[in-house]
Amino acid sequence: MTEYSGLTSEIRALAEAVLQTLKDTGKSVATAESCTGGLLSAAITSLSGASDVFRFGAATYGEEFKEKLLGVSKQTLACYTAVSAECAKEMARGIRDYAGADIGVSVTGYADTGDTPGLVFVGVCAKDECQATKFLFSPKSREFVRLSAAKEALLLLLSIVGDK
């Protein structure tokens, strides 16, 4: 894969499609990322015109920031952990609300360590509907998992925005 600013050409193409679809629908987006550490935000904001649709991005690695900034409940973290569908949905809702965006997208997972290396959840919250999708990537490397997670988040975002 060809790289552009640390992102693959495939991710850049997906980000371009997301950006155009957000513009066409008049929607805005905000991101909350853990294991991707800002790759999703970087993919979108690397494009000219991103400021028309991108509201805010946060790399919330620590649980305390998932709680304080995004409003993830202590109960969710205690019962399900930070790497769960429940946490991903709360992260997506929290960043959407915090930024005043139409859509919130979150990524949380284990890039190369943890209970299940390569386990990632992507959350998307639009209107009052929040969903999370589970992915299990073969952890060839930390970077592979991070890039794969960013790609899948863009694909989910594109499908959600295209439906709205």
Report pLDDT digits (tens) over 9-63: 999 999 999 999 999 999 999 999 999 999 999 999 999 999 999 999 999 999 9
Rounded Cα gap, residues 115 and 97, in angstroms: 30
CB count, 10 Å around CB of 17? 16
CATH code for the structural domain at 3-163: 3.90.950.20
Q: For the chain, which residues make up each domain, given as ranges?
A: 3-163
What are 58's strand-pairing partners?
Answer: 32
Question: 4-8, 21-25, 76-80: lowest mean pLDDT where?
Answer: 4-8
Instruction: Give the whole-angstrom CA distance, residue 65 versus residue 59.
Output: 9
- b vs e for 84-115, b when ≥16 Cβ sit within 10 Å of the residue's Cβ? bbbbbbbbbbbbbebbebbbbbbbbbbbeeee
